[in-house]
Amino acid sequence: MAKLRLGVIGAGSWTVASHLPELSKRRDDVEFVAVARKGPELLDKIKTDWGFQIASEDYHDVLDAGVDICLVASPSGLHHEQAKAAIEAGAHVLVEKPMTIRPDDAWDLADTADALDRHLVVSFGWNYKPMMHEAKRLMSDHGIGRIEHLMLHMASQTRELLLGTGAYPDAAPDSIPEARTWTDPALSGGGYAQAQLSHALAMALWLTDLRASEVFAFMSGPTEAPVELFDAAAIRFEGGAIGTMDGGSDHLNAGDNKHQLELRAIGSEGQFQVDFEREALWLFRAPNTNYRPNLDANAGLYDCVGPPHALVDLALGKDVTNCSPGWLGARTVEILDACYRSAASGSVAHIAGRRRKGE
């Protein structure tokens, strides 16, 4: 069988540090064909380091090379145009989070992938962790009845990144992202909510299958911050559940740079908790059933190993689960967009509530 031809659009620091090393492990399945990004020196270095045949500052050159799979890791404001072009060119696509800035664009990508029978994977690494698989199994096999309340909290070392004064932990040191990728709302869509709460929402919505209907949000940051560093939101979900979501930028090196990420949910028949910082997983179902799986040390540490491997396996026709499909990415974008609209207006923001194919 011929190898899958890989194209990369926007080879930024996280792509270089995470996705390319993982895909390099699949050299029997994947051929590194074409890469595009701004900056000729870094572009030439990436071409040489990873053995790409074609390197260009124009992403169209990647698609013209006839790629089978494509990573889209450019700034968020470019995702819709570039990911849609890749899907329409026949590629299965892995798009970085947040999937897009606007909900309509996110749903358009999901719909386009469905219509053209292409796989669309969003780069939500936590959704592929063994700890997350166990959490999903507990919720699927046992559940807690109808969810009535949800609490979602996240904090991570992004203060310097969002202030435009530095990078984030684990970024490839020779491929530091342009500050405006994260600090120019036209490219990023905003600050901490876009950069990090997109992860938290993807985890929560994957586990609960909730859909938000309205949001009221506050956002804040130091006066010199170009985007928000802190977010707090109240969310109403379809079916009557309510919840809260908060997040903020820790200081670099606090807590050994480990993410805080926790979900707690109360349902009509039980309660559920998943805490990636403390490696805690618990499901209680009334009257007296408790599930507390033993987890490995550091089971909650973040990595993005799963999404690139899922893209390859799906493109090869293997029977694997896409734990971060396009419709999930679109649902996260709906909530993020509502948070920014609410914070700007000082009022509740309503969500249109698009449905995925088959719903």
Task: Dump pLDDT digits (tens) for 295-346.
Answer: 999 999 999 999 999 999 999 999 999 999 999 999 999 999 999 999 999 9
Assigned token pair, 208: 């609960």
How much is the pTM?
0.95
* Percent of the chain clearing pLDDT 90 (strictly above): 81
217 contacts 123 by C-beta, under 8 angstroms: no
Q: How many CA atoms lie within 13 A of 341 on its CB side?
A: 15
In the beta sheet, which residues pair with residue 154? 247, 261
The whole-number pLDDT of residue 167 equals 67
Higher pLDDT among residues 29 and 16, named by residue: 29
Helix H or strand E segment including 182: helix 179-183
Higher pLDDT among residues 165 and 106, named by residue: 106
175 contacts 12 by C-beta, under 8 angstroms: yes
Nearest to 341 by CA among 141, 138, 103, 68: 103
- Mean pLDDT, residues 268-277: 97
Task: Please give the domain boundaries of the chain with CATH numbers for all domains.
Answer: 4-125+308-324 (3.40.50.720), 127-302+330-350 (3.30.360.10)
Buried-exposed string 30-66: b where 16+ CB fall within 10 A, e elsewhere: bbbbbbbbeeeebbebbbeebebebbbeebebbbebe
Buried-exposed string 235-257: b where 16+ CB fall within 10 A, e elsewhere: bbbeeebebebbbbbbeeeeeee
The whole-number pLDDT of residue 172 equals 56
The whole-number pLDDT of residue 160 equals 86
DSSP three-state, residue 119: coil
**Residue 7 binned pLDDT confidence (cut-offs 50, 70, 90):** very high
Count each helix (H run) and each strand (E run) in the chain, helices first. Answer: 14, 15
